[in-house]
Structure 1
Amino acid sequence: KQHPPRLDRRISGLNNRWRFPREPYLGDLLGLSQLSRATGVDIDNQLKIIDRKNLELKIFLNELKRKNVTLDCMGFKWELHQPQLFHSGTLTKLYMFALSQKNTDPLKELEKFLRGILASDPRSRGLSPGNLVPPDEAVFCLLLPTAFATALKSLYTNETEVHMEDVLGVLASANILQFPTLFKKCVSLMKDGISPCTIQTYYLAACKYKEELLITACEKWLEMNLVPLIGKQIYLRTVPQELLQKVLKSHRLFTFSEFDLLKTTLYWVYLQLNLRLQSIPIYEAVLAFFNSFPKKCPFLERELGQKFLPVFHCLRLHGITKSKDLEDIKYINFFPEAWMVRILANHYHALESGGDMFHAKDLSTQAIRFGLLINQIYSEMIGVYGFFFEIKGIKHGGSSYSFYMQRIKYSDTNIPTIIHERSTVSLRQERIVKYEIRAQSLVDGNWQEFSTNTLTQKFGLIKSTSKSHIDALIIIPFYR
């Protein structure tokens, strides 16, 4: 390990002076004078030697400015001008080493030098001699040499155009070549370009380079699009398990219902186990697949399913209250028996208690969630333990929406059959409900969240008590 040069005490005439042992007395005329008197050397000759060295250095630097440098990389040769070369930290170090090295085996020394400068960068772990690019970055750069050329182009212009199909390769090249401005530009492009087909690669790249803003952007995008968008596409398979668990635990996660979230998670597991599939199967095919395992042991207790246990610990299975949905869960023999007993026991106690959910203590982590997309549906009917509610959104002009919820009488003919059928009916005239209404909107390219915070209200069946209070209304800007 190299250490910075240390000052040594050297005797110069009658005084002891601190100086670098191998450096000339440049700028230290007092020390040079003392040394000349002590050694009997003519100081004028020493000054001429210093002037000559300075002149040689200036001539050398002027010659460098007129030279072009050839960068040989990935089977291509790029002619670079020397002044632009110093805009890259890595190229600067490589070039200065190439000028100063006097070894008989330059390739070996060059690899040793590269290993040293890249090892100092925590984002460049995993290097080995002869492999100057980490394995995953090598894939980006070697398969897309145009990305490396784009990175080199930024040496000459601040307005380098980066195409989205090359952004990962340019990002990797910018990291290796130490182009911080280009690296930030790629991160910004990736934040705006998150989609079902890019969520995996962008998230993994963000984790590799420890780009927290990009990691957060990927998480927020998936929170909004896991169930309504990517849950219906084959790209669901590419979502990393670590990211999926983070999103499932988030209080901002959007879902139409707890059962819709369970279906999406079952699809994700199914796609992990059937890698040859190129399209999303129908839901009945997923149920049949899990039901095909022997009945002696639930799927999550099998060796094949144990690695997926943390994912299903993140779900709110107690929020699945429809008998048809519970029958599907029991049919596939997926969850451990203890889980199913706990779910059914909670439902039984809630019904016996007139709808009170004593097992749910924390609204932020245990509340039953229902959601709707405003650009598709403006109202949604829900039923929980014999009580029926309508969640409604109202458009105001062309720029905003407001939301509220109201209780619906069990005999109301507007209640859909799918909700009313096989459902219990509560005859209680009043019902205390703890709830929160949240809305998220894309405003100027950024997701913004609006919330009523936690509210407690007594909902009745007459008009004055059936609707959420005025302070429960929230108005958000329209999607742009």
Structure 2
Amino acid sequence: MEHPTVTTYSAKQNAVPGEQNPDLRREGGAFRRPPGHGFSASRKQLQHRARLEHQVAGSANQRPFGAPLAVSQMHNSRSPDCEEAPKDTDRLCIPKIQNKFSENLKDKAIPRGDIVVTLECLDFKWDLRLPQLFQSETLTKLYLLAQGGAAPSRGLDMVIRPLSPRKSKERRFIKKMTISLKVNDPMVTEAAFATALKNLYLSQMDVDLDDVLEVLAAAHTLQFSRLLKGCVAMMISALTPSNVTDFYLAGCKYKEELLVTACERWLEVNLVPEVGKQIHLRKIPKDLLQKVLMSPRLFTFSEFHLLKTLLLWVYLQLNYRIQAVPEYETMLTFFKSLPKKSCFLDQEDEHGLMPLFRCLRLHGIIKGKDLDALRRIDFFPESWLLQVTAHHYHSAESGGDMIHVRNFATEAVRVGLLFSQEYATYSKIITVYGFFFEMKGIKNDSTSYSFYMQRIRHKDVGVPSSACEHRLVSMRAERMVRYEIRAQVLVDSQWQEFRTSEVLQKFRFAGRSCKSQVLKVQTVGIPIYVSFSFTFPVS
């Protein structure tokens, strides 16, 4: 954030009476006394005011130790250097000063009706009370600069001394001060800045979700920590496909790590089931997308679903005017129609997309028709598809052994279940190299769930005929499987995770050996995102 500009006025300005409340008029968002409106004062009061002016002017004309010369001379008409002035105030313990001021002002040394500081910003003027002003670190620094850039050793006492409650009876007048803040962030609008200032006076945050991005920017400019935390919490609890990218970019810009992490975490679970079906997928930056694809917590229904999501993202980048999600066949036709001398990913302009597609586990796409479609669009290098085909051939010939899989964490085949509120039981049947497995979830009661996988026969009740048509059927009595079951659920903006360990188990057709370990989940959250990761090691 660019350092703010400070404008200060000499102590010979008009003073605001500490006990009277003259009529005020509004001027550019601030209150001003009408011309010609004055007030009478006794001789004793005038003498006291003269002494106060002399003391303040005298301290302002002396350069405090460590303070820039331009800051200490408050009577000088030019503003202090905006690059140098804040550096000295940074040496002060701003939170300590804020707390000390708050304690003093709680004693009502300054009447609540009096205006102490006028803030000029965004072509508006706002009159602020000190208890509220000191909640903003930026405004606190500006106030200290206006007091003369007090040095750390004596600045706290020097600034607080005039506000001491013990002298409140003697002091009849309060110096009026104007500070100026220059804002260069285009995200900070007048309405958002006004909302941020309003929240200085509120114990509970009052911000509309539609305005939260701009208010976050204003809170960052003001360094208003309570409002910053409130905006971040609101954004985290309201993540959707339409706003997750904007919230993520704002978190990066203002270095709100909690918000950045929450957006990444939300996308890890919702990229395929939610964002991958909407036009908002287009807005996700490439770097963020790659980070999500590499996460071990990434949820997908299958490797093929993840591939379709990534192809859609590329399609939307190339067709920025399209405002509707196309059918899968439409995408394939588009990529097939592109003029190219080599495959899409090998072209010079698209070579940068290669790291994204290297995150895919193409060997997890088993259906021959899906692989044939990828060959026809000439999207992947031919060597990739030949390698995947060779892996499938050798695995089928060796009884299902996935010899090519060396790293379970990054190469295991993934299958996902999205267990929703209405389900009492939910299952999915898959077939890999002639072996049939059922991934199943059961709702035990309102907060208890069980998830497991089991081996089944191709002739069992419930196995659809389409699962067996033109497929291999293995008659092997045993199949060694390495697997892991993971469940994720969102509760009160916090992700709960449940998982089994990485298990190596021999699956048979009957008895206990046909069923995996059961992942038991106790949660009040819904839906539950369940991922089954598995490989067939050499047996």
TM-score by length of 2: 0.68
- Aligned partner of 2:55 in structure 1 is 56
Any idea what SS the aligned residue of 2:305 has?
A: helix
Q: Distance in 1 between matches of 2:254 and 2:390?
A: 47
Give yes or no for contact 1:64–1:82 (8 Å, CA) kept in 2: no
- Aligned partner of 1:321 in structure 2 is 366
Q: Distance in 1 between matches of 2:406 and 2:121?
A: 61
Q: Distance in 2 between matches of 1:76 and 1:416?
A: 70
Q: Distance in 2 between matches of 1:168 and 1:70?
A: 26
Tell me by how many angstroms 1:228 deviates: 0.8
Tell me by how many angstroms 1:56 deviates: 2.2
523, 526, 534: which one aligns with 1:477: 523
Q: Pick 1 or 2: higher relative contact order, CA cutoff 8 A, min separation 6.
A: 2
1:91 and 2:136 are equivalent in the alignment: no
For residues 13-52 of structure 1, the aligned pairs below 5 Å read none
Tell me by how many angstroms 1:382 deviates: 0.6
- Aligned partner of 2:174 in structure 1 is none
- Aligned partner of 2:36 in structure 1 is none
Deviations for 1:106-138, whole angstroms, at most 9, x for unmatched residues?
xxxxxxxxxxxxxxxxxxxxxxxx99444xx31
- Aligned partner of 1:350 in structure 2 is 395
Higher helix fraction: Structure 1 or Structure 2? 1
Deviations for 1:159-184, whole angstroms, at most 9, x for unmatched residues?
23111111111111111112112111
201, 219, 224: which one aligns with 1:179: 224
* Aligned partner letter, 1:226: L
- TM-align CA RMSD: 2.7
- Aligned partner of 2:506 in structure 1 is 458
- Aligned partner of 1:368 in structure 2 is 413
Deviations for 1:176-207, whole angstroms, at most 9, x for unmatched residues?
11211211111111111111111111111111
Q: Distance in 2 between matches of 1:465 and 1:160?
A: 56
Change (3 A) 1:87 1:466: closer
Change (3 A) 1:132 1:384: farther
- Aligned partner of 1:190 in structure 2 is 235
- Aligned partner of 2:481 in structure 1 is 433
* Aligned partner letter, 1:56: Q
Change (3 A) 1:131 1:302: farther
Aligned length: 394
Q: Distance in 2 between matches of 1:364 and 1:399?
A: 30
* Aligned partner letter, 2:306: L
For residues 245-284 of structure 1, the aligned pairs below 5 Å read 245-284=290-329
Instruction: Report which stretch shifted further, 368-377 or 58-67.
Output: 58-67
Q: Distance in 2 between matches of 1:157 and 1:304?
A: 53
Instruction: Report which stretch shifted further, 386-395 or 209-218.
Output: 209-218
Deviations for 1:275-319, whole angstroms, at most 9, x for unmatched residues?
111111111111111111235311011123212111111111111
- Aligned partner of 1:141 in structure 2 is 188
* Aligned partner letter, 1:477: T
Tell me by how many angstroms 1:74 deviates: 2.4
Any idea what SS the aligned residue of 2:415 has?
A: coil
Change (3 A) 1:60 1:185: farther
Change (3 A) 1:388 1:161: same
Tell me by how many angstroms 1:258 deviates: 0.2
Q: Distance in 1 between matches of 2:497 and 2:358?
A: 26
Give yes or no for contact 2:427–2:441 (8 Å, CA) kept in 1: yes
1:303 and 2:348 are equivalent in the alignment: yes
Q: Distance in 1 between matches of 2:53 and 2:436?
A: 89
- Any gaps of 5 or more consecutive residues in structure 1? 1-51, 102-129
* Aligned partner letter, 1:347: H
1:160 and 2:205 are equivalent in the alignment: yes
Any idea what SS the aligned residue of 2:348 has?
A: coil
- Aligned partner of 1:446 in structure 2 is 494
1:80 and 2:128 are equivalent in the alignment: yes
Instruction: Report which stretch shifted further, 282-291 or 411-420.
Output: 411-420
Any idea what SS the aligned residue of 1:372 has?
A: strand
Deviations for 1:241-277, whole angstroms, at most 9, x for unmatched residues?
1111111111111111000000001001111111111
Deviations for 1:28-85, whole angstroms, at most 9, x for unmatched residues?
xxxxxxxxxxxxxxxxxxxxxxxx7998249999999954443332233322235533
Give yes or no for contact 1:441–1:476 (8 Å, CA) kept in 2: no
Deviations for 1:194-226, whole angstroms, at most 9, x for unmatched residues?
111111111111112222221221111111111
Give yes or no for contact 2:135–2:200 (8 Å, CA) kept in 1: yes
Deviations for 1:354-376, whole angstroms, at most 9, x for unmatched residues?
10001112211111000111116
Give yes or no for contact 1:295–1:333 (8 Å, CA) kept in 2: no
- Aligned partner of 1:289 in structure 2 is 334
- Aligned partner of 1:380 in structure 2 is 428
Any idea what SS the aligned residue of 1:305 has?
A: helix
